[in-house]
């Protein structure tokens, strides 16, 4: 059975994110590996117990902590869109930092925008 593709507001594919996968598998080993990798990558202390995420568009409270303050997510919720590709203002300046860090997110949103 193929898993449903879950696309966040900013275009990151949640269902392909290691934190999402570790959460769905409830795998503490994966959480530990991700926490170590992200701690180095972002020069911040990320504990394995922080690696719990059902995706920022889910109604779940299990989300990476940053999503609670993410301007893109908050804007998407306010505008009641599935993701930014469905917004009349796509692509706004709020998305530039994500597109710079994760260029695939722009491609994902562009693909959705062009097929809706």
Express each pLDDT in 83-97 by its tens digit. 999 999 999 999 999
Whether 15 contacts 57, CB under 8 Å: no
pLDDT value at position 47?
94
pLDDT level of residue 2 (50, 70, 90 thresholds): low
Using pLDDT thresholds of 50, 70 and 90, give the confidence band for residue 1.
very low
Query: What is the CB-side half-sphere exposure of residue 22 using CA atoms within 13 A?
Result: 21
pLDDT beyond 70 at 82: yes
Question: Mapping DSSP to helix (H, G, I), strand (E, B) and coil, where does residue 87 land?
Answer: coil
Mean pLDDT of 33-57: 93
Q: Give strand pairing partners of 7.
A: 13
Peptide bond into 56 cis (omega under 30): no
Domain ranges of the chain: 14-107
């Amino acid at each position: 059975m193929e898993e449903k593709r879950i696309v966040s507001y900013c275009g990151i594919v949640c269902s392909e994110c290691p934190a999402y996968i570790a959460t769905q598998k409830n795998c503490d080993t994966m959480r530990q590996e991700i926490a170590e990798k992200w701690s180095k990558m972002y020069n911040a202390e990320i504990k394995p117990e922080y690696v719990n995420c059902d995706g920022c568009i889910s109604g779940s409270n299990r989300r990476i902590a940053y999503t609670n303050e993410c301007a893109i997510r908050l804007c998407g919720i306010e505008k009641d869109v599935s993701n930014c590709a469905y917004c009349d203002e796509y692509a706004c300046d709020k998305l530039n930092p994500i597109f710079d860090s994760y260029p695939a997110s722009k491609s994902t949103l562009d693909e959705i925008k062009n097929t809706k």
